[in-house]
Structure 1
Amino acid sequence: MTTLLKKRRLMDPEAPNQSTGIVNGKSSNVLNWDDTRFPWAYNRYKSMLANFWTPFEINMQSDRKQFPQLTAEEQESFLKIIGLLALLDSIQTDYAGKAADYLTDSSLSALMVVLAFQEVVHNQSYSYVLSSLVDKAEQDRVFDFWKTEPTLRQRNDFVVSGYQAFVEQPTIEHFLKSIVYDVILEGLFFYSGFAFFYHLARNQKMVSTSTMINYINRDEQIHVGLFVSIFKEVLKENPAYDTVELYQFIETTFKKAVELEIEWANTIIGSHISGLSIQDVSDYIKFTANTRCQQLGAQKLYPEITHNPMRWIKAYAEVDLGKSDFFEQKSRQYTKANQIDNGFDEL
């Protein structure tokens, strides 16, 4: 069964403003937030706006002073993770635009534009961090690291190949599978890196960078939720694709992703980051994979992992930034949305 997706028309005066389908439907392409097919879309839009931030809000002076005081291992892991995050968000910016082309509903295509903008902000934040800490030659090394590090190449090729199948042949099946890769990228492949930064923060190291990572983490949570909703709506409107084989694909793909993420965690954390247990990080990755699979409607991959082994992360990933920034940074004048729990202490 191969159903090609049709690109959304730039304008269709014969179609209603409210789309007739999430993909391959008809829509005038006029965006009226009071006349959309999916009532959850506007709430997602408001949440994304409420999370608005820019890197320039964060003063990097204290991190600039602290970075030379980190151990050589901490410095190298710090730089490698920043380089990885920059690559992943670059990929994600492009994928969001390609997904938007085939979403018939104008509100969802608009959300993809906002999502892509946020990924651009994330990328700029990594440049901002690096330019605050190291010279231009070192910045260039960090941004090119993914080209030569075998573990990174393997991870990146894994995701890109999943996206590329959709780009080259935009069918409903490939779109659904590309969303699985998206949830892996935004909802799993960041997480050992996030854990590293939160570990530094709980030891009062590089708090400004961790504040920025906190903002990014919260954005990615919304992005995962958005794509999960799109995944479910596509299946609801195209039930022929809601098959046992699809959920087997989710589970098999996530298992491979977990292997790759744990291999990367061993590379950047291993036994050389004091106070951060690689076993805990590995179990945290498996716990997160359980959560993501269940969000997509699949089974838990690791039933033996029943709770978050790194519950302290919640203190850093769940700060209410509507009242104050990460730790004591500064008061804010606009609301920060309270997002879903990325710790999920129990499953």
Structure 2
Amino acid sequence: MSQCCGGGGEKPYDLSKRINVEDKRLLNCKAVDVNQLWPLKYEWAWEHYLNGCANNWMPSEVPMQKDISLWHSPDGLTDAERLVIMRNLGFFSTGESLVGNNIVLAIFEHITNPEARQYLLRQAYEEAVHTHAFHYIVESLGLDGREVFNMYHEVDSIRGKDEFVMSLTEAIMRPGFTTETVEGIQEFIKNLVGFYVIMEGIFFYSGFVMILSFHRQNRMTGIGEQFQYILRDETVHLNFGIDLINTIKEENPEAWTPELRREIVEMIRKAVEFEIAYAKACLPEGVLGLNADLFREYVGYIADRRLRRIGLPAQYRSRNPFPWMSETMDLTKEKNFFETRVTEYQSAGSLIWD
């Protein structure tokens, strides 16, 4: 019997159109309908989606009164401390937008698996929330929004990072680009490495350390709370991106050539130099117990972690000068934020900090 009937006189289901789960590949899917979610092929993609949903939050739910008072107090922050905050707002305000645009304009079209697309939709929403957070901070502190959101044009160390990552989108955005060739898959992998491993997995993490150093001292706590939320979101983004890259490698081994591996190692080494230059620009004289030498060590440490997770050799053998960052990730959200409505992280304890 090849057909089964629905109730109420509906047309019978055509079982020949049912999707074979093995055909639901990430790239160049052979399934008839890319929109059919069930049955799942990649449980990890759905798990990341559920983790993202459990982490839901909105910037306007975080109180900013203490930050406003400290920012406008004549004795509240030094010029060096203000520079750290302003440079990070300038980088993140555009960086988050670039990641969101890359998902919508470059990645989504070529991912042909529905549960992976489901996660990408969730991530794009979260990138919009993060950009909203920087607007909320700027507005709350009474900053010049044009100065903050235009900083990627005017500060060399920020412009260098953004241009480096954006260059990895150019090939994918060309008319006629396809992942049906080995060369196309390789370009796609480089884009994924650029945005998930480099932008979200390396470039963002120095900024997290800088801002959360204020938060550890119970200063600029509103910004700090929002960066904690963003850090938790980014951890899920990173884990999804690593799984995405590794699965594409497994399904397309002909694309993971020695030449591509060498090229990706060189990309990450170049990214580390961009990030060290950024740390120097944010901390020209050191502040909060932080300095550029510590960040050179830290960036090398996290770069090695990223390299190993996509099957590439470590390059720096650095130690982690900020072990408290893992403690920050391990904390569950139990306080009520002064009776505000911030949603607690339901599954933060299950996330893998990286």
| Map 1:53-132 → 2, pairs under 5 A | 53-68=57-72, 69-97=76-104, 98-132=106-140
Looking at structure 2, the residues matched to 288 and 325 of structure 1 have their Cα atoms a distance apart, in angstroms, of 32
Identity %: 27
If the length of structure 1 is used for normalisation, what is the TM-score?
A: 0.88
Please provide the CA RMSD for this pair: 2.1
* Structure 2 unaligned blocks of 5 or more: 1-15, 179-183
Q: What is the Cα deviation at residue 328 of structure 1? A: 11
Give CA deviations for 1:142-172 in whole Å, capped at 9, x if unaligned.
Answer: 1111111122221111100012222223421
Read off the aligned partner of 2:35 and give its amino acid letter.
V
> CA 1:72 to 1:327, structure 2 compared with 1: closer, same or farther past 3 Å?
farther
Rg bigger for which structure? Answer: 2
Q: What is the Cα deviation at residue 17 of structure 1? A: 6.9
Q: What is the Cα deviation at residue 76 of structure 1? A: 2.2
Higher relative contact order (Cα pairs below 8 Å, separated by 6+ residues): 2
Q: What is the Cα deviation at residue 37 of structure 1? A: 1.4
Aligned to 2:255: 241
Q: What is the Cα deviation at residue 326 of structure 1? A: 8.2
Contact 2:61 2:341 in 1 (8 A): no
Looking at structure 2, the residues matched to 279 and 333 of structure 1 have their Cα atoms a distance apart, in angstroms, of 36
Q: What is the Cα deviation at residue 46 of structure 1? A: 0.9
> CA 1:233 to 1:334, structure 2 compared with 1: closer, same or farther past 3 Å?
closer
Give CA deviations for 1:239-260 in whole Å, capped at 9, x if unaligned.
Answer: 1012212221221111000000
Aligned to 1:176: 189
| Map 1:312-327 → 2, pairs under 5 A | 312-321=324-333, 323-324=334-335
| Map 1:130-149 → 2, pairs under 5 A | 130-135=138-143, 138-149=144-155
1:189 aligned counterpart, secondary structure: helix
> CA 1:115 to 1:330, structure 2 compared with 1: closer, same or farther past 3 Å?
closer
Q: What is the Cα deviation at residue 334 of structure 1? A: 6.0
> CA 1:334 to 1:153, structure 2 compared with 1: closer, same or farther past 3 Å?
closer
Read off the aligned partner of 2:19 and give its amino acid letter.
P
Contact 1:211 1:325 in 2 (8 A): no
Aligned to 2:233: 219
Aligned to 1:345: none
Q: What is the Cα deviation at residue 21 of structure 1? A: 1.9
Aligned to 2:316: 302
Looking at structure 2, the residues matched to 300 and 76 of structure 1 have their Cα atoms a distance apart, in angstroms, of 32
* Structure 1 unaligned blocks of 5 or more: 1-12, 343-347
Point out the more displaced range, 324-333 or 165-174. Answer: 324-333
Give CA deviations for 1:5-48 in whole Å, capped at 9, x if unaligned.
Answer: xxxxxxxx95727443211112312333x411112122111111
Looking at structure 1, the residues matched to 262 and 336 of structure 2 have their Cα atoms a distance apart, in angstroms, of 41
Looking at structure 1, the residues matched to 353 and 135 of structure 2 have their Cα atoms a distance apart, in angstroms, of 28
If the length of structure 2 is used for normalisation, what is the TM-score?
A: 0.86
2:111 aligned counterpart, secondary structure: coil
Point out the more displaced range, 35-44 or 328-337. Answer: 328-337
Aligned to 2:56: 52
Looking at structure 2, the residues matched to 127 and 336 of structure 1 have their Cα atoms a distance apart, in angstroms, of 27
> CA 1:288 to 1:329, structure 2 compared with 1: closer, same or farther past 3 Å?
farther
Looking at structure 1, the residues matched to 71 and 347 of structure 2 have their Cα atoms a distance apart, in angstroms, of 29
Looking at structure 2, the residues matched to 325 and 188 of structure 1 have their Cα atoms a distance apart, in angstroms, of 31
Contact 2:286 2:292 in 1 (8 A): no
1:16 aligned counterpart, secondary structure: coil
Aligned to 2:164: 158
Structure 2 residue 30 is matched with structure 1 residue 30: no
1:107 aligned counterpart, secondary structure: helix
Which residue, 255, 268, 274 being the options, matches 2:282?
268
> CA 1:326 to 1:177, structure 2 compared with 1: closer, same or farther past 3 Å?
farther
> CA 1:207 to 1:327, structure 2 compared with 1: closer, same or farther past 3 Å?
farther
